[in-house]
A and B are shown apart, each in its own frame.
Chain A
Amino acid sequence: MENYELLLSGITFIPIVGMVVLLIWGNATKKQAALIGILSEGFALAIPLVLLSALRRNDSVIFSFPWIPNMGISFRLSLNWLSLTFLLTEVLVTLAAMIYSLGEKMGEKNSNYYYALLLLFSLGMSGTTLADDVFLFYIFWELMLVASVLLILIWGHGEIRFRVALKYFIITHLGSLMVLVCLITMYVNFGTASITEWVTQAGNLPINMQTFLIVFFIIGFSVKMAIYPLHIWLPDAHTVAPMPVTIILAAAMLSMGTYGILRFPFGLFSLETLQPFAIWMMIAGLVSEVYGALMALAERDIKRIIAFSSVSQMGYILFGLGTLTQRGMEGAIMHVVYHAIVKALLFMVVGIIISVTNERDIQKIGGLGFKFPILCVCAAIGVLGISGMPPLGIFNSEWMIFSGGFDSGISIVLTVMALIGSLLTVIYGLRFFGGIFFGKKIPDSLPTKAPLGLIVPTLAVTIFLIIEGLMPGPLLAWAMKGLTSIVGSFH
């Protein structure tokens, strides 16, 4: 085994070490706990970057270790261009959320558990992206859920959190079970749990079984993506969770559903087999896009507005995947990344607004723009970003998704509707921005300055968003390579 393969396993093991340290270190202060958390997560960020050169040579790095040999299950991680894109997104979002947590008023007590759980949450996601063995995939997939539920349960807002966490767990678990049925069906049919080996054999399955698997996979992963009408867990979970957890949920965890769809139905079956489902995915994406935007328009709670905007944005992604064209799918992958950055930024802004005004009703907040100019600029860039304004990232990805829609030739009408539907994003974005930062100044007794610990990470994310938008080249290249690695080359 080469050194860089061992290094790959570090992405999962170093956060575990960090967690163990945090669990043992009972009386760590919040800063100490955060330091350990950020350091371990920093390794998880550095390792894939170090592995970039190896990845350029081989197109994938694989770490394999036998785990349950009698069931054909091994601890097998694989880094390729697709998983790299999702991994980096997820790790960066977690890092941002960890840094943001430092500025949150949460109390010192038990902060070691808090950071340990954040690490577990991130481990679940990075494991999901890297796993090349279905048993392992499912374990990480559920770890992600367990960690997020615990975070909501313990640090969520209000007594309602117990019910919300339960609802979140049960509904997303239903999706997971659908995925599990598919995974085990294939495991039983192929006699191996290695996903790489599945790719070569999946085409030989009987056609009705392929249909069944595709439908179950897409519905199961759509629950995690919060596609209408499977989104019902999302608004409550996002609202009740503490802000850093909301950031990870919205910016990183939702995209795991996309990754699942790309990895399983798209990665295993040919595009011809997927063709009959294309239009349904596009319709579901369109409905989700419009529904999420309308709900965001109707909401008064500022956290829920941004939460519903996630439902809408995931609609774009599913629409892009549904086009089954190169541009549409690349656009969907890029949209995942851009959406992560923009959504993290918007939730950070909301977090700051809530912390300075102690108010979440958009009608009771107003005129903050004069008092907090930096925050206002960040929010403006976030809102412009989500509305798809060039040169901010989402413009690029939406462009590709819609041109994919026209390329596909499935339905021009749907694409035009989706294009027009994106206007709604602008409307709710401007309502959000205008309502909060302009208009009458309603809360009187406001602090003069926004908390520095919160504003610095927000600024950093804003700058990152601008850079990413201006230089989409590397991301596009990764998305192209990642897509080629799963669906083969387009002609």
Chain B
Amino acid sequence: MSGMFEIVLPAVILIGGAFIVYVISRLLGVNNRVESLITVLFLTGTLLALINNFLDIPVLFSNNNAVYGLFDPGGIILIPSALGIFIMIISIIITILITVFSGEYLARDPRYLVYYPLILLTQAGLFGMFLSNNLFNLFLLTELTTIAASSLIAFRFHQEIAIKAGFKYLIMSSLGTMMMLLGIYFFYRSNGDMHLIHVLESPDNFTRVAAACFLLGFSLKAGVFPLHTWVPDVYGNAPSAVSGLLAGVFSKSMLFILPVICLRLGMTREELGMYLMIFAGFNMLVGSIRMLGQNQLRRFLSFSSIAQTGYLMFGLGIGFYYNLDQAFSAGLFLFLVIAMMKCLAFLASGVYQFYLGSQDIEKIQGAGLYMPLVALCFSIALAGLAGIPLLAGFAGKWMIFSVALATGDLFSIIGLVVFLMSTLISLGGYLPVIVKQYQYSDQLENVFVDQASSLKISRWMLVPVALLALMVVIIGFYPGPWINLVDYVIRWMLI
């Protein structure tokens, strides 16, 4: 193994951290909070390593030495990408907040020992997917994340629905990875190699079939219509913290890996753009329409997540179809803000479930009167997702609007009309939930009379939620620097 070690340092910290956290916790018998703090320590280390890489981007990408691996035949070659580093930074920041949140959220779960290592492994797998330039490694790392994630989803294994959700995710994701495996077969048959270092000059039919297989595989993982059916079942039944991580960051980041792979396998930009834009429309409509009738908080958020996947795809699709760099910026900015808002929404719903013992939307009626801060943060998340001005979602909406109109083409205008319909329909979903929190209800009064002590919300939960809400407001008020950041990443993006 040789090359620039700093490229893989974050992954090393994550994987090493997973072992160390588990061993230390097991040997010393530490409690949940301590374990979550140890995990935060490793995550912070990873974050610093990633930020170091991010600052080095001009150096890393201006020479060709930025590789690490085993350069023998059949070896592993890892090449970083600016996009991957940026997405991982967002992912790690959100994971840190989720880990702190879990310090209290898992207080009633006896199996917390394995939870934190699994979180670290998921992140390691995701980072590896961005680094790998070899289809076989990509496959392995996808499997790693799938298995870690499905264990997290089924974390509360004494609950039947948790097992069901975990199993469903495992089956569906395996279906996705199986498609990838099939793709690898076709690619290998045609090229006799599995490296993806250069964009193929003239792809043959086998390679193109391989590209289609990978497209399907990643679409399934991202929850693209009609392969989205697992999303509500899984996010609706997994622990809130896990759903926040998966829905906010993990499945959406698949949309950024997908083009890298498919374009290198010979798919043209027009084909990819058209695919993304057409299915974006379905995602937006299905997500926002199905969101309306939901009575479970997290199921409701899952359907809204499907719609947001659609928004992201729409932005990226425009970027590919019309070769418009601003559209990539819009997509990446949207990814950043959706990650925060979605995660915030799931965490706040987790607080409700923790204290009210239910995730029924009817049951949160009046919660705003007893937990004003949580209700405010939850409202900020939902209003942000609905695109209300001065919150982060609005700047994203504005950017998507701008790029769609900038093309001046009928295809993207039709997409924009669907986008508009979807935002309008989803308003009908978000607003009643926001309002519900502030409606008076006597049943809630009974809950709080019974457990008067729990009126005070644990700081472990409140701090991450409040921080995320603050970020949503700050980005909304002052999107300039963040847009600069995203533009910077897009400039170094090499697809």
B226 within 8 A of A: no
CA distance A70 to B480 in the complex (A): 7
CA distance A188 to B483 in the complex (A): 17
B390 contact set on A, CB distance < 8 A:
139, 143
CA distance A67 to B487 in the complex (A): 17
Q: Could you list 5 examples of A-B contacts with CB < 8 Å?
A: A70-B483, A162-B432, A165-B435, A170-B427, A181-B405
Stretch of A44-52, A80-88, A172-180, A465-473 on the interface side:
A172-180
A184 within 8 A of B: yes
B435 touches A162 (CB 8 A): yes
Q: How large is the interface on B (under 10, 10 to 19, 20 to 34, 35 or more residues)?
A: 20 to 34
Within 8 A of A (CB), among B223-246: none
Besides the known contacts A139-B390, A177-B420, 10 further A-B residue pairs in the complex with CB atoms under 8 A apart: A68-B479, A70-B484, A70-B487, A71-B483, A143-B390, A146-B388, A184-B402, A185-B405, A187-B402, A188-B405
CA distance A67 to B420 in the complex (A): 26
Q: How far is the CB of A137 from chain B (nearest CB, A)?
A: 10
Please tell me the number of chain A residues within 8 Å of chain B, measured between CB atoms.
27
A173 touches B427 (CB 8 A): yes
A162 contact set on B, CB distance < 8 A:
432, 435, 439
CA distance A67 to B431 in the complex (A): 29
A153 touches B480 (CB 8 A): no
B391-430 CB mask vs A (1 if < 8 Å, else 0) is 0001000100110011000000000100010011001100
B401 touches A71 (CB 8 A): no
B423 touches A177 (CB 8 A): yes
A68 contact set on B, CB distance < 8 A:
478-480, 483
Which residue of chain B has its CB nearest to the CB of A185?
Answer: B405
B389 touches A142 (CB 8 A): yes
CA distance A166 to B427 in the complex (A): 9
Question: Do A153 and B435 form a contact, CB below 8 Å, given A69-B480, A70-B483, A173-B427?
Answer: yes
A177 contact set on B, CB distance < 8 A:
420, 423-424
Report which of B398, B405, B432, B487 forms a contact with A135, defined as CB distance below 8 A: B398
A138 within 8 A of B: yes
B460 within 8 A of A: no
B479 contact set on A, CB distance < 8 A:
68, 71
Report which of A138, A181, A185 forms a contact with B389, defined as CB distance below 8 A: A138
CA distance A170 to B427 in the complex (A): 7
A399 within 8 A of B: no
Q: How far is the CB of A205 from chain B (nearest CB, A)?
A: 12
B322 within 8 A of A: no
B185 within 8 A of A: no
A151-162 CB mask vs B (1 if < 8 Å, else 0) is 001100000001
A277 within 8 A of B: no
A170 touches B405 (CB 8 A): no
Q: How far is the CB of A475 from chain B (nearest CB, A)?
A: 32
Q: How far is the CB of A60 from chain B (nearest CB, A)?
A: 25
B438 touches A153 (CB 8 A): yes
A185 contact set on B, CB distance < 8 A:
405
A169 within 8 A of B: yes
B424 touches A174 (CB 8 A): yes
B478 contact set on A, CB distance < 8 A:
67-68
Q: How far is the CB of A203 from chain B (nearest CB, A)?
A: 19
Which residue of chain A has its CB nearest to the CB of B435?
Answer: A162
CA distance A142 to B431 in the complex (A): 15
A169 touches B431 (CB 8 A): yes
Q: How far is the CB of A163 from chain B (nearest CB, A)?
A: 9
- Pairs of residues from A and B, 6 with the lowest C-beta to C-beta distance, nearest first: A139-B389, A68-B480, A142-B389, A184-B401, A188-B406, A188-B405
CA distance A188 to B438 in the complex (A): 39
B401 contact set on A, CB distance < 8 A:
180-181, 184
A71 contact set on B, CB distance < 8 A:
479-480, 483
CA distance A142 to B394 in the complex (A): 11
A143 touches B402 (CB 8 A): no
Within 8 A of A (CB), among B463-495: 478-480, 483-484, 487
CA distance A260 to B75 in the complex (A): 65
Which residue of chain B has its CB nearest to the CB of A140?
Answer: B389
CA distance A142 to B487 in the complex (A): 27
